[in-house]
Structure 1
Amino acid sequence: MRVELVANVASGSVGRDGPERAEAILAEHGVEANVHAPGGGELEPCLSEALSRKPDVLFVLAGDGTARAAAEMAGPDGPMVAPLPGGTMNMLPRALYGERAWPEALKACLTHGEERMISGGEVAGRLFFVAAILGSPALWAEAREAARSGRADLAIMRAQRALRRAFSSRLRYVLDGRPKAKAEALTLMCPLVSTALDADERALEAAALDPTNALDIFRLGVKTVTGAWRDDPSVSVGRCRVGRAWAGGRIPAILDGEPVRLDDHVSIRFRPKAFRALALKDDAP
């Protein structure tokens, strides 16, 4: 079995000794692997090089952005990808491995792993495998990233900008040929995580969020905590295979936890075969 492992030691919960610990766990299970610990700015070239070796599986121990990039680069015809939880939010790792820390997730993959084709979504040519948020609420993620990097001044500035944009720049969209609509934000969830979709559903769950004031936002926030957000009057839920969205300027977005800026007009589509994951069997402890 040919195994490559790429670890970002500067990410979230990996730790400086992460590569050595991962290599030891692999060795305990009789697996020899090429373990890489690239420096800043070298992650994507390292992923590309690891994939070029045509391994049976690529383990990625890093944050959400690197996990998403690795799955996108591998695609449905590439090797299996196992995104271990090495970041802060760990959206894709949690969807695949639950709340396991990365050493336990790695061990479970080695003892109870199986191949699974994962579907996903595509916005403006960029893939996501958990969820995407389009619209002004995504600006809060930019404030979060600034705070995480220790830039309190930049975090405050971005939070103020997010407040100014709230309720002032609505998103227009069309999904599956239905009539044009508008909302404050459009959320797209993949079958991997949506509780409203079966795992083999060939569509995204699309939820349009259109609160009109602070009270609506508070009520929606409470219902999100309780899991009843779909029943809120400011939310419209449906399915989406293809669509498009547009706004008066560049669209802020979050793809699998990572903030991005998109053009003012974007296409949306469901990808039934996005990448091959090393997931866990149902009887995994």
Structure 2
Amino acid sequence: MTTVAVVAHAGKSFGGGLGELRRVLDDAGFPEPLWYEVAKSRQAPKCARQAMADGADVLFVWGGDGTVQRCIDAVAGTGAVVALLPAGTANLLATNLGIPQDIGEAVEIGLHGDRRSLDTGTVNGERFTVMAGAGLDALMIKDADAGLKDRFGRAAYLWTGARNLKASPVRATVTVEGRRFHKGNVTCVLVGNVKDVFGGIEVFDGSRPDDGLLEIGIVTAKSLRQWVRTLGRVVLGRTERSPFVVTTRGKKMRVRFDRPIAYELDGGVRKATKDLRIKVRPKSITVCVPGPGFPAQAG
């Protein structure tokens, strides 16, 4: 019989909350799943590893992209099967894969949906599934962490993004597959594993989470006017036409800055560094996705 485990960020919720999740699992024939609740996403990896050691066949992760990222970082490459329960602010991986914000439907997908092997990326050895970024992207997320996301949801990112538009550029050298791709001032470096990295906006057109490649975008816009032009092109799906953006794709990348700056993985900010070593890990995690009977948005 299938052994089901739940790793839940207790501070996140959707639908009827964790009580409804227990009822849905009970109705589906799993009255006593392995159950682990955490107060912070950084506590989730230990629980995810314990769930696998305890024999979990399907690992349900309740939380946002940060909780999902930490769980996948812990169990990728072990044969784990991860099911997403999108209880966070952005839920970008769930959105890209067509996972609905309905507890019953999300559980159904976890128990009976298709299994899809996805790529992960690594930055300095730590995995991500959606995106990684440095510069304005990381500043925006860092400022939004201070309680704003809980109060204002996605609007918090708009507010903190606007406040950081005048952030000073940083000089960077970017190599892709060992060849120089860019050298000069940048205001944002963004690496993506999926098309949609900003909630409904397809930044990296044509990107797939199982194509064995990562996308990278370098933004050089520095004034408010330049940023407005750049974001306008992005919203219209014309990122490649912006004079302040260059993009490419590859399996291995490196970004070296002239001073330490913070970076983020799937919405979680990490300590400042001068060096980002980025690699793709092809088909390194299995995730439950909608089968033919579900409306799918998977890229």
TM-score, length-scaled by structure 2: 0.82
Counterpart of 1:67? 68
In the TM superposition, 1:214-229 aligns within 5 A as: 214-229=224-239
**In 2 relative to 1, CA 159–187 (structure 1 residues): closer, same or farther, beyond 3 Å?**
closer
CA distance in 1, matches of 2:104, 2:271: 34
* Superposed CA offset, 1:81-108 (max 9, x none): 1121011111222222344334432233
**In 2 relative to 1, CA 225–101 (structure 1 residues): closer, same or farther, beyond 3 Å?**
farther
Structure 2 residue identity aligned to 1:276: T
* Superposed CA offset, 1:104-152 (max 9, x none): 32233334x12211102111111111111122432111111112367xx
Structure 2 residue identity aligned to 1:130: V
Which consecutive residues of structure 2, in runs of 5 or more, have no partner in the other structure?
152-156, 197-203
In the TM superposition, 1:83-162 aligns within 5 A as: 83-111=84-112, 113-146=113-146, 147-148=148-149, 162=164
Counterpart of 2:77? 76
CA distance in 2, matches of 1:142, 1:5: 28
* Superposed CA offset, 1:9-45 (max 9, x none): 211x347x63321121122222344252524254343
Structure 2 residue identity aligned to 1:38: E
CA distance in 1, matches of 2:11, 2:231: 32
Q: CA RMSD in A?
A: 2.7
Aligned residues of 2:195 and 2:206 also touching (Cα < 8 A): no
TM-score, length-scaled by structure 1: 0.85
CA distance in 2, matches of 1:128, 1:252: 16
Give the match's secondary structure for 2:170: coil
CA distance in 2, matches of 1:229, 1:107: 36
CA distance in 2, matches of 1:198, 1:92: 12
Task: Indicate the percent of aligned positions where both proteins have the same amino acid.
Answer: 25
Once structures 1 and 2 are overlaid, which stretch shifts more, 115-124 or 23-32? 23-32
CA distance in 2, matches of 1:222, 1:99: 28
Structure 1 residue identity aligned to 2:134: L
Structure 1 residue identity aligned to 2:61: V
Aligned residues of 2:118 and 2:210 also touching (Cα < 8 A): no
Aligned residues of 1:131 and 1:187 also touching (Cα < 8 A): yes
Aligned residues of 1:4 and 1:33 also touching (Cα < 8 A): no
Counterpart of 1:188? 191
Structure 2 residue identity aligned to 1:221: L
How far 1:242 moved relative to its partner? 0.9
CA distance in 1, matches of 2:81, 2:291: 15
Structure 1 residue identity aligned to 2:206: A
How far 1:187 moved relative to its partner? 1.3
Counterpart of 1:259? 269
How far 1:199 moved relative to its partner? 5.3
**In 2 relative to 1, CA 174–36 (structure 1 residues): closer, same or farther, beyond 3 Å?**
same
**In 2 relative to 1, CA 247–272 (structure 1 residues): closer, same or farther, beyond 3 Å?**
same
Aligned residues of 1:175 and 1:240 also touching (Cα < 8 A): yes
